[in-house]
A and B are shown apart, each in its own frame.
Chain A
Amino acid sequence: MNVQVVNLGEVITNENESIRGHGTFQKDGNLVSSVAGIVHRVNKLVSVKPLRSRYHPEVGDVVVGRITEVLRNNWKVDIGARHDAFLGLSAIILPGGVQRRRTSTDEMNMRNFYKEDELISAEIQKINYETFKISLHTRSFKYGKLSDGQFVTVPPMLIKRSKSHYLVLPNGVLLILGCNGFIWLSIPEESELKIKKISNWFISTTTELQELEDEINENSNKSIKDKNMDLETNNFDFYKKKEKMITKEQRLEICRVRNAILALSNSFLPIYPTSIMLVCKKSIEENINPKEMIKQKNMIILTSEVKELIK
C-alpha cells in the first residue's frame, strides 16, 4: 500500500491537475502541504490529513467528556475538541425512563443529574458549523454518567470509528473508546458474561480473531441489556451511582488494559479491542506484571505482535 507522508512545506504535486483540499496551499504553481501528515487523494481532490491534531468531531461519534460548567438548562462538556460541547437538559434520560417536558424544577435539579468535573459518555447529536456549537445527547442506556473506573487519554487519531464503542473485553473489563481519544475503563454490571482467562486465548488465525470480536460484541450487548433493566426499576440511582464492589483481580485486569492502551499509544498504533487483547495476551505470556508494562523496554516487546498484525 503506497502511503505518501509529507512534511510541512513539502511539495505534493503540480497544482494544475488537482483541486486543493484541507491541509494544502498553493505556492509558485505547486501544491504544498501545510501540515505534517498523510496525503489523501479522491479523484482530483488532494488533501493532507495531519498525523497529530485535536479531535475533529463528527455527528454520531461516541465521546467521553468531562462536565466543566452547569448552565441554565444545559451542561458544558470538555471533549478535547477546539470548542466545548453542550449537553442539553432535554437530551438526557430522566430517572424512571419517563418521557415528559422538562420543567423549571428540572432546571433547579440539574446538579442532581450531572455535577462539575464528572465524566460522561455521550453521542454527538448535531454540529452547527456556523456557531461551532456541538450538541451531545445521552438518550441511550449505554451513555450517561461514568463511575467506578479509570480514565485514560490517547491521541484521537488512534481510535478508529467502528460499529460499537461500548465494549466488554474477554477478561471482564468494560471499555468505552471515545472517538475523541478519551477512554473509560471499568467493570460491567453483574451478569453472566463469558469471562475467559486470557491464557485460554489463541489469537493467531483470522478465524480466531473473528471469534474474539464476536464474543466481545456478544458480551457488550448483554451488558447494555442489563443496564436497560436497571434503569427502569431504579429512580435516581442511575445518577447517584452507588459504589460497585470491585475485586483485586478485576482491578489488576483494569490496570493491565490501561497499560496496554498506553503502550499502544506510545508506539502510535491503532487502539481497538483486538490490538488491546493482543498486548494483554503478550504480557501474560512474557510474565510481565501490569506495573512493569509501562517500562520502555517492555513496551517494545508487548507491541511487537500488533506491529506484525498491522503489516
Chain B
Amino acid sequence: MKNISGFERRFIVSGLKENIRSDGREMFDYRDITLQTGNLPQTNGSSLFKLGNTHIITGVKVEIGEPLKDHPNEGRLEISVECCPSASPEFEGRGAEDLNSELSGAMNKIINTNSALDLKSLCILERKKCWIIYIDVLVLDSDGNLFDSVSMGINAALSDVKIPKIRVVPGDKVGDLEIEVFGEEESRKLDTSKVPICITFAQIDGYNIVDPTIQEESCMSSRVTIAVNKNQNICGMMMGGTSGIDTQVLIQLTQLSIKIGPGLYKALDYMTNQNKTKLQQKNDLII
C-alpha cells in the first residue's frame, strides 16, 4: 500500500462526507475507461484496457489439448494474472506474488465456469481433445482497482477471440484421428454474453466508494468485490482487507452492484463496437 499521512487520510474522509473524492468524482462514479482490442496480432484475441491510470493488457491464445478427467466433454480456460514490477514499487521482486495468485484465483473462480462460457462448445472429441483457452493478463500500470480492471480486460479480450475452424480426419495409423486446423478467415467467435465483470467497493470509515484509486486503497479498511453479469445476476463475491463488513451493508452493496453493472457493460460494448468499425474502416482502406 502506498504511504499516506494521517492528514491526507483525514482530508479524504471529510471529502466523503460531502460526496466529493480527490478527483471530483462522487462515491459511485467510475473513472474514464479506454479500450482497444486486437492489439497483439500473434494472439487469438487481445485487449488493452485502461481505467484511469490503471493499464491492463490481456492476450488470449487457444490451443488443442486434453480435457480434464472429471469433465470429459468440456474445454477449459487457464487464466494467469501477473503484475509487472514496473506497475508499482511494491510489485518489485516477489512482492506481487500474493496479489498475482489472488487475482488469478478470483478470475478463475468467476470466469472458468459453465455459467460464464459454454465450455461444452469447446469440446472437440469427447475424452480426447478439447480447446484450452489460455488467458494471460499483464498489469502494466497500477492506480488501484485491479480486480475490476482485470475482469473487464478479460471480458474485452474474450469478445475479440476467434477460434479456428477444425475438421477431424483419420490419421496415418489405423484408428488414429488427426485434427485439421483452418485459417483465420474461417473462425468463430465465442459467446461472451454471460461473462461477468467485477465491481469493487472500498470501505473507508463507514463510507463505501466504488473504483478506488491507489490513494483511497491505502485508506480503506475492507474491500468487497462483487461479480455481476449482463443479466444482472450475482456471479461471485470476494472480500479483502482487515476489518469486517456489516451484513446489512453487504446486502446494500450487492443491490448497488446490480445497478452499476449495466452502465459498465454499455461502455465496454460501445467501445468494442467502435474498435470494430475502426478496424473495418482500416480493412476497407487497404482493400
Which residues of A does B touch, CB under 8 Å? 66, 68, 115-119, 145-151, 241, 243, 246, 248, 251-252, 255-256, 258-259, 289-291, 293-296
Contact = CB atoms under 8 A, between A and B. Distances in A.
Contacts, number: 70
Interface in B7-43: 7-8, 10-11, 14-15, 18, 20, 22-26, 29, 31-32, 34
Contacts of A259: 23-24
Given A66-B5, A251-B20, A149 B11 contact: yes
A258 B23 CA distance: 7
Given A243-B10, A251-B18, A294-B32, A118 B24 contact: no
Given A66-B3, A294-B31, 7 more contacts: A68-B3, A117-B3, A118-B6, A118-B7, A251-B18, A291-B24, A291-B29
19 contacts: A66-B3, A116-B3, A117-B4, A117-B5, A117-B6, A145-B7, A148-B7, A148-B10, A148-B11, A150-B11, A248-B18, A251-B18, A252-B24, A255-B23, A255-B24, A258-B22, A290-B24, A293-B24, A294-B23
Contact of B7 (A147, A246, A289, A290): A147
A268 to B, nearest CB: 16
Nearest to B50: A296
Given A248-B18, A296-B34, A146 B7 contact: yes
B214 to A, nearest CB: 12
Contacts of B20: 248, 251-252, 255
B118 to A, nearest CB: 36
B20 to A, nearest CB: 5
A25 B32 CA distance: 43
Contacts of B29: 291
A258 B11 CA distance: 14
B14 A246 contact: yes
Best-surrounded residue of A115, A148, A289 (most CB of chain B within 10 A): A148
Contact of A255 (B10, B14, B22, B32): B22
Interface of B: 3-8, 10-11, 14-15, 18, 20, 22-26, 29, 31-32, 34, 52
Nearest to A152: B22
A150 B5 contact: no
Contact of A118 (B5, B18, B23, B31): B5
A145 B5 CA distance: 11
B271 to A, nearest CB: 12
A252 B20 CA distance: 8
Nearest to A146: B7
Contacts of A252: 20, 24
A119 B11 contact: no
Contacts of B34: 296
A149 B15 CA distance: 10
A225 B26 CA distance: 36
A291 B22 CA distance: 9
Best-surrounded residue of B11, B18, B29 (most CB of chain A within 10 A): B11
Contact of A243 (B8, B14, B22, B31): B14
B8 A150 contact: yes
Contact of A291 (B4, B5, B6, B26): B26
Given A243-B10, A296-B34, A150 B22 contact: yes
Contacts of A115: 5-6
A241 B7 contact: yes
A119 B3 CA distance: 10
A148 B12 CA distance: 9
Contacts of A145: 7
Contacts of B14: 243, 246
A44 B267 CA distance: 57
B10 A295 contact: no
Contacts of A258: 22-24
A310 B13 CA distance: 38
A149 B14 CA distance: 11
Contact of B5 (A119, A251, A255, A294): A119
Contacts of B32: 294-296
Contacts of B31: 294
Nearest to A114: B5
A290 B8 CA distance: 20
Best-surrounded residue of B6, B7, B10, B22 (most CB of chain A within 10 A): B7
A182 B65 CA distance: 53
Contacts of A246: 11, 14
A188 B156 CA distance: 46
A311 to B, nearest CB: 28
Nearest to B24: A290
A150 B7 CA distance: 9
Contacts of B6: 115, 117-118
Nearest to B2: A117
Contacts of A146: 7
B26 A251 contact: no
A259 B32 CA distance: 13
A255 B213 CA distance: 15
Contacts of A290: 23-24
A174 B52 CA distance: 26
Contacts of A117: 3-6
A226 B203 CA distance: 38
B235 to A, nearest CB: 29
B272 to A, nearest CB: 18
A49 B108 CA distance: 48
A119 B8 contact: yes
Contact of B15 (A147, A151, A251, A256): A251
